Every structure is written in structure tokens, then in C-alpha cells.
């Protein structure tokens, strides 16, 4: 009995994974190979051409999503790393308050926050309207309905998921290690580059993982903040599922996206020299 205990304890977790991850994935894989329509039903025909068709129609949007996801992730890293660093090393007693402030806006729903940007950034809204009245911006200046708005929205919406893992990694860095580096005649920049940065890389890795994947797949920012040429693959998947009721195409697109993201992540892990992706992320 004692030997079985750990397995029994893990059972709910396994069941959860099986029911909510494995079953839907198998169902989706199955639907992605079917043909038919919503009225007569879909039947399994092992039609692998669904993938080719879907990719042929939406390769532009897929590529665009990857680019937007990468841009947003880079921006989050640039903004997030210094913030995490500052809180971890200079936060002092107020660390938890800063973290709380950071998370506070995220208690509001994702969609509502994105719509608020729509309001704040309106062409003649409280920000740009005022600047235009003062003559600081040309009249036809606008941010909404541009690539900048979409990438900016993604950056804003996923930023905490970048900051928190980096913070956790940096927080664990023993200040005495940095002191030791300086005692050994490292400059401040040198100590950061050769001691702090390498120690924080697992956090960076986890942060990138947790932001790049959802940012690439996100349909909301493109829908609310984007314009005519900003459609992302998430929007296409949504349309295929909900508007066209073309479940096979939608499933094939979802799977393709998942595969591309997985390949991307493993390539990235390789490049970063992380031996085991998941272990690094969990650290």
C-alpha cells in the first residue's frame, strides 16, 4: 500500500490531464482529418490534404503571428528584465508591494483591458486628441488599427508573465556571489554579464515560453486593436470554427500552430544551451 501511495496521490492529476488534455487533443486530431459539413456531419476520411489547404490559405497570417509574437516577446524582455531586476535587487522591504502593483491591473478581464486601450488610444481620444489640439501631432496620426497597436497590446497583456519568472530567478541570486565577483576585480558590468545574467537565464527562458506561446496564438488584440492587415492566425481559427463551422480546417490550423510553436521552442532551447527544456522552465 505504501508503495502505491504516490501513484494514488498523482491519480487526480493524471485523470485531469487525460480528460482535459489528451481526449480533446485526440478529438481535434481526428476532426482535422475529416471531411464534410456541419449539416450532414463530418466523417473520417484521413484527408491529410486538410493541412495543406489550411496552410495554403493562411500561411501569411501564420507567419505574421509568429513575427508579432516574437516582436512582443522581445519588447517584453526589454521592458521586463530591468523591472524584475530592480524589484529583486532594489525593492527592499517593498518587494511584495511592487509585485502586487504590477499584478493589480490584471485582476480585470483580458478583453476589458484591451478595450480600454481602444478608448485611451482613440484618434481624438484623451491622449492623442489633446496632443493634436496642442499641435504636437499631425491630424492624421493614429496608433489604433496599426501593427504597433497590436504588438503593443500583446506586450502589455502578457508582460507580468515575463517579469514574474525572471524576478523569481533573480531573487534567488545570492548577493554575496555578486560581491565575490567584484572582490575578484570584476567590473559591475562584468559581474552582471558573467554572474547575474547566466544565473537568471532559466527565468528568462520560462518567461519567453510563457509569453511567446500565448502571444502568438492570441486573437483578441488583433481583433480589438488591429486594422485591415493585422489578422493573426488565432482570428482565422476562430472564424473557421465559429463562422464557417469548418471544424476540420480549424483543427488542422490549430495543430499546425501547435507544431510550429513546439518546434520553435525546442530550437530556442537548443540555441540557449538548455539541456532539458522543461526542467529549466520548472526551476
Partner 1 sequence: MGRFRTRRDVFRLAGYSAAGLALAACGVQGQKAAPPKADAVKDFWAKQTKNGKVVFANWPEYMPGDKGPLERFKKDTGIAYEYKEVIQENADFFGKADPVLRAGQSLGYDIVVMTNGVQLQHMLELGYAVPLDHTRLPNFLANAGQKFKERSYDPGNKYTVPYASGVTGIAYNTDHVKEEITSIEALFDPRYKGRVGMMNDAQEIGNFGMFAVGVDPEKSTEADWKKAGEKLKAQRDAGLVRKYYDQGYIDAVSKGDVWVTMAWSGDVFQRQLAGEPVAFVVPEEGGTIWTDNMLIPKGAANPLDALMLMDYLYQPAVAAELDEFIQFVTPVPAVQDLFREQAKTAGAKEKKALDAMIDSPLMFPSEADYAKLRTYTTLTNEQEQVFNPIFQSITQA
Q: Which residues bind partner 1 (CB under 8 A)?
A: 26-27, 29-31, 33-34, 36-44, 57, 60-61, 122-125, 140, 142, 144-145, 224, 226-229, 231, 235-236, 239, 241-245, 247
Residues 110 and 211: their CA atoms lie apart, in Å, by: 14
User: CB neighbours of 82 closer than 8 A, spacing ≥ 6?
Assistant: none
Task: Give the residue with the Cβ less far from partner 1, 35 or 276.
Answer: 35
Task: Give the residue with the Cβ less far from partner 1, 27 or 108.
Answer: 27
- For the bound state, the minimum distance from the C-beta of residue 225 to partner 1, rounded and expressed in Å, comes to 10
- For the bound state, the minimum distance from the C-beta of residue 86 to partner 1, rounded and expressed in Å, comes to 36
Residues 118 and 140: their CA atoms lie apart, in Å, by: 17
Contact present, 35 and 49 (Cβ < 8 Å): no
Contact present, 170 and 88 (Cβ < 8 Å): yes
Task: Give the residue with the Cβ less far from partner 1, 26 or 103.
Answer: 26
SS3 34: strand
Selection from 155, 152, 162, 158 nearest residue 85 by Cα: 162
- For the bound state, the minimum distance from the C-beta of residue 105 to partner 1, rounded and expressed in Å, comes to 22
Task: Give the residue with the Cβ less far from partner 1, 95 or 132.
Answer: 132
DSSP state of 108: S
Task: Give the residue with the Cβ less far from partner 1, 157 or 231.
Answer: 231
- For the bound state, the minimum distance from the C-beta of residue 269 to partner 1, rounded and expressed in Å, comes to 27
- For the bound state, the minimum distance from the C-beta of residue 79 to partner 1, rounded and expressed in Å, comes to 27
Amino acid at each position: 500500500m505504501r508503495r502505491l501511495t504516490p501513484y494514488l496521490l498523482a491519480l487526480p492529476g493524471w485523470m485531469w490531464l487525460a480528460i482535459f488534455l489528451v481526449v480533446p487533443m485526440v478529438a481535434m486530431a481526428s476532426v482535422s482529418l475529416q471531411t464534410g459539413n456541419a449539416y450532414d456531419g463530418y466523417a473520417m476520411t484521413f484527408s491529410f490534404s486538410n493541412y495543406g489547404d489550411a496552410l495554403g490559405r493562411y500561411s501569411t497570417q501564420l507567419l505574421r503571428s509568429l513575427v508579432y509574437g516574437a516582436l512582443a516577446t522581445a519588447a517584453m524582455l526589454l521592458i521586463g528584465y530591468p523591472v524584475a531586476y530592480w524589484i529583486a535587487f532594489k525593492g527592499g522591504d517593498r518587494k511584495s508591494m511592487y509585485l502586487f502593483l504590477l499584478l493589480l491591473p490584471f485582476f480585470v478581464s483580458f478583453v476589458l483591458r484591451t478595450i480600454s486601450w481602444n478608448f485611451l488610444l482613440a484618434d481624438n481620444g484623451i491622449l492623442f486628441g489633446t496632443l493634436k489640439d496642442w499641435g504636437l501631432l499631425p491630424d492624421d496620426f493614429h496608433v489604433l488599427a496599426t501593427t504597433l497597436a497590436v504588438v503593443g497590446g500583446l506586450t502589455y497583456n502578457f508582460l507580468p508573465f515575463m517579469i514574474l519568472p525572471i524576478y523569481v530567478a533573480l531573487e534567488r541570486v545570492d548577493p554575496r556571489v555578486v560581491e565575490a565577483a567584484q572582490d575578484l576585480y570584476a567590473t559591475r558590468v562584468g559581474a552582471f554579464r558573467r554572474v547575474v545574467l547566466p544565473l537568471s537565464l532559466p527565468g528568462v527562458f520560462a518567461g519567453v515560453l510563457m509569453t511567446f506561446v500565448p502571444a502568438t496564438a492570441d486573437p483578441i488584440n488583433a481583433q480589438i486593436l488591429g486594422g485591415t492587415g493585422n489578422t493573426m492566425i488565432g482570428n482565422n481559427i476562430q472564424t473557421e470554427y465559429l463562422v464557417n463551422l469548418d471544424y476540420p480546417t480549424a483543427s488542422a490550423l490549430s495543430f499546425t500552430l501547435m507544431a510550429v510553436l513546439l518546434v520553435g521552442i525546442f530550437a530556442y532551447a537548443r540555441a540557449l544551451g538548455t539541456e532539458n527544456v522543461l526542467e529549466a522552465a520548472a526551476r
